[in-house]
């Protein structure tokens, strides 16, 4: 089942569970440990917490757009987004934690109070896709679950709900196909029908449990796969 096949309350519940999962791993970090590296090249945990906090604020702008009808982009520009994260990473540990708590509470409140009709309002993501504002549930789900693992302090793809893993893999494969990347790859998730990427003869078979295949496909390393695996194509 796809995440998008779930009823909206169930989608929001999974997003909230992911937020709690991220929050628990953040709470486990000492202030000094926020200076440590993540699974993302060039980003410390400070950058990651700032990004997750500001992402919630950006989604709130889409919810404002849905309610008022006044176009309110997630970010003014990609440069503004990058600058915001870079500056956010310089905040004190207490301010960073407060940023996360405040923006999470704000996003949750807006979800809870959004008028029913507004969930169908069309908004535009930072990547330029036009989607119903209900898509914010998936956008946030993806952010908090993946980035909890990126903090590199115990988060595991195996902790993600299967519906999130399956939907992530569908998104990644769809993006590879859209960009004509990954030709010759075959993804063999244990117990599932193999997925062939692109045309031509298969050159690399990536096989293993769902969580391991998704971790590899998302660019977070080859852990728990059967045999060696090349670097995956980019998907974002």
**DSSP state letter for 224:** S
DSSP state of 72: -
Q: How crowded is residue 27: how many other Cβ atoms within 10 Å of its Cβ?
A: 8
CATH homologous superfamily of 3-155 equals dinb family like domain (1.20.120.450)
Q: Kindly state the percentage of the chain with pLDDT values over 70.
A: 99
Q: Over pLDDT 90: what percentage of the chain?
A: 89
Give residue 192's Cα distance to chain centre: 24
What pLDDT score does 76 carry?
A: 87
User: What pLDDT does 202 receive?
Assistant: 66
Specify the pLDDT at position 199.
75
What does the pLDDT read at residue 201?
Answer: 67
3-155 and 162-218: identical CATH topology: no
Question: What mean pLDDT do residues 172-192 have?
Answer: 93
Q: Write out the two tokens for 129.
A: 């896709």
Q: What is the pLDDT confidence band of residue 43, given thresholds at 50, 70 and 90? A: very high
The label of the residue with tokens 């440990």 reads 33
pLDDT level of residue 77 (50, 70, 90 thresholds): confident
Over residues 13-39, the pLDDT tens digits come to 999 999 999 999 999 999 999 999 999
Could you read off the pLDDT of 114-168 as tens digits, one per residue? 999 999 999 999 888 999 999 999 999 999 999 999 999 999 999 999 999 999 9
pLDDT at position 204, please? 87
Domain ranges of the chain: 3-155, 162-218
Distance between CA atoms of 30 and 92, rounded to whole angstroms?
12
Calpha distance 55→100 (Å, rounded): 10
The per-residue pLDDT of the chain, averaged, comes to 95
Place of tokens 């893999």: 169
- The distance from CA 34 to its chain's CA centroid, rounded to whole angstroms, is 20
| E strands in the chain | 122-124, 130-132, 185-189, 195-196, 204-208
Q: Is domain 162-218 annotated with CATH 3.30.1050.20?
A: yes
């Amino acid at each position: 089942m796809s995440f998008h096949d779930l009823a909206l309350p169930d989608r929001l519940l999974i997003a909230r569970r992911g937020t709690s999962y991220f929050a628990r791993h953040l709470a486990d970090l000492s202030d000094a440990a926020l200076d440590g590296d993540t699974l993302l090249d060039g980003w410390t945990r400070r950058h990651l917490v700032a990004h997750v906090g500001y992402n919630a604020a950006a989604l709130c702008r889409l919810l404002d757009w849905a309610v008022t009808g006044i176009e309110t982009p997630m970010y003014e520009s990609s440069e503004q987004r990058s600058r915001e994260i870079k500056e956010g990473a310089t905040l004190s540990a207490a301010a960073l934690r407060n940023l996360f708590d405040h923006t999470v509470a704000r996003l949750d409140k807006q979800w809870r109070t959004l008028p029913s009709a507004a969930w169908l309002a069309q908004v535009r993501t930072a990547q330029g896709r036009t989607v119903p504002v209900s898509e914010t549930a998936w956008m946030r789900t993806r952010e908090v679950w993946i980035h909890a693992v990126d903090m590199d302090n115990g988060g595991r793809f195996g902790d993600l709900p299967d519906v999130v893993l399956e939907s992530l893999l569908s998104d990644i494969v769809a993006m590879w196909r859209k960009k004509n990347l990954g030709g010759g790859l075959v993804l063999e998730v244990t117990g599932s029908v193999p997925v062939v990427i692109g045309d031509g003869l298969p050159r690399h078979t990536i096989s293993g449990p769902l969580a391991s295949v998704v971790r590899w496909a998302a660019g977070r390393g080859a852990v728990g796969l059967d045999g060696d695996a090349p670097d995956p194509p980019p998907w974002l």
